Amino acid sequence: MGSRYQVDDDPLARMLAPPPNETAEQKEARLRVEAEARQRSDKIDEQIKAERAAMKKNKPVKVLLLGQSESGKSTTLKNFQLSYCQDQWEAERVSWRMVIQLNLVRGINAILDVLSSELSGPAPPGADSDISDDDDDTTGMHPVYGSALLTSKHRLLKLRLAPLRTVQRDLELTIGIQAGDDMSDVTIGTSPPGSPILGPGGKKQEFFVRSATTWKKEHSHSRSELSGRRSKEVQMRETADILAGCAEDMLAVWQDAGIRELLVRKGIRMESTPGFFLNDIRRIASRHYIPTNDDVVRARLRTLGVQEHKIKLNKGPATGSDWYIYDVGGSRTQRMAWYPYFDDCDAIIFLAPINCFDERLTEDRRVNRLEDSYMLWRAVISSKLLAKTSIVLFLNKCDLLKEKLQSGVRIKDHVHSYGDRPNEVEHAVKYFGSHFKEILRKYSPEPRPFRVHHTSVVDTEATAVTLSVVEEGILREHLQRADLL
């Protein structure tokens, strides 16, 4: 047990030992062969090392878009596609025509819902109960029940625009839109997403498509599918004809002073709802309407489930690299689906809409939307799974924040800690940003850089510049983790 192996007892040592009685010439030849073998071995090792490095370098960059519902995640994804996937973008752009038409029609129908409710209300004191409802009265001078500013002209407009209910239903069926889980009290004329029409006790939910829905894809060329395509094209022409025929009446509804006063009195700001196209009625209601890039970016279509998009960057420092961008649902019921995507994540772009300091969550009217963003931000940056993950914060919807402040809404009336700071965009953005920074400092498992951008992601040109900066930073950190810098 105490003996040790000798060299002569080791088969490998015997094999590698020089032969006995080796001459000088034989030794030189042996050493030359061994040197050549070492060179080949070293070359193979270098090749393996280079291949491993290339695998690390070519590993796709994984980016998550996080934030509450209607924070701008899908719009940010569209900007990525517009900036880096032009061919795919152009192929899909025309498909968005139906969605944009639906956004427009739903906006008008939402106003008509409010108008109907007002017209069916109790008669104001002293109202004449013998007012005629004859369609021949086109002067619009006879007041009707509900509001002194609403007349029989408004009732006639409502009747003329009744076909838009059918248009909305047909568009929803064609796109593959589904209703929410609890839709017992939702009519076809449901309110636009995020609309204040949804009262504190309302259960109306926004329509959606599932992530597996293929409404943007072209049909194949089988006989049955060609027939389906022709039917779809016929429907699209019919939709365009109806919208063109209703264009003047839609414009009359949107520009009417009485209806505008009614919306203000109800606290409804159509301009702040996602998918707002009421200022583009003439253009979109044209028979020959083709969506612009800005139209597609602004279009609203809620998608339920996680969307994975592979993008091969064709410009910038990351040219040629593959990026996987995940757009996950932001409503409270969908947030548990985030966690499986945290593993092996390179970066998170967190979108916080800062125009919503005076708004409530659609899914829980007790919760302020800005406070919800703070809580969500805290949950993300405190996650140990994301301790090494790069996080970029977009303080989004600065354009809508500016409009809201200019309309007279005061931040301090809703955010008491804002105090007597100026009610201006620059000061508001700085204040909200400092709060996010403080949460990061307090709850992050370890110190990390804080990168924040003030964004309005519906502005495609400005967002393209922001994304180029974000792309470079994410790529640098991705390569650092791969030990290539």
Provide the pLDDT confidence category of residue 19 given band limits of 50, 70 and 90.
confident
Q: Rounded to 5 degrees, what angle do the CA atoms 405, 410, 416 make?
A: 135
Q: What is the dihedral of CA 399, 404, 410, 412, to 10 degrees?
A: -50
Q: Rounded to 5 degrees, what angle do the CA atoms 127, 131, 132 make?
A: 165
Distance CA 64, CA 394 (A): 13
Provide the pLDDT confidence category of residue 302 given band limits of 50, 70 and 90.
confident
Distance CA 349, CA 391 (A): 6
- Asked if 309 and 325 touch (Cβ cutoff 8 Å), the reply is yes
Residue 454 DSSP SS3: strand
Provide the pLDDT confidence category of residue 448 given band limits of 50, 70 and 90.
confident
pLDDT for the residue numbered 191 = 37
Residue pointed to by tokens 């070492």: 38
Q: Does residue 140 carry a pLDDT above 60?
A: no
Collect all residues with Cβ–Cβ distance below 8 Å to 322 and sequence separation of at least 6.
58, 60, 61, 310, 311, 312, 313
**Which string of DSSP letters, residue by residue, matches 24-51?**
HHHHHHHHHHHHHHHHHHHHHHHHHHHH
Q: Does residue 198 carry a pLDDT above 50?
A: no
* pLDDT, averaged across the chain: 79
Tens-digit pLDDT profile for residues 254-297 = 999 999 999 988 888 898 888 999 999 999 999 999 999 999 99
Provide the pLDDT confidence category of residue 218 given band limits of 50, 70 and 90.
very low
Distance CA 128, CA 145 (A): 9
Residue pointed to by tokens 């000798």: 6
- Asked if 143 and 204 touch (Cβ cutoff 8 Å), the reply is no
- Determine the average pLDDT of the residues in 430-453: 92
- The share of the chain scoring above pLDDT 70, in percent, equals 74
- Asked if 479 and 58 touch (Cβ cutoff 8 Å), the reply is no
pLDDT for the residue numbered 136 = 39
pLDDT for the residue numbered 327 = 84
Distance CA 76, CA 65 (A): 8
How many other C-beta atoms can be found within 10 angstroms of the C-beta atom of residue 142? 15
- Determine the average pLDDT of the residues in 190-196: 37
Task: Give the chain's count of helices (H) and strands (E).
Answer: 15, 8
Strands (E), 282-374: 303-304, 307-312, 322-327, 347-353
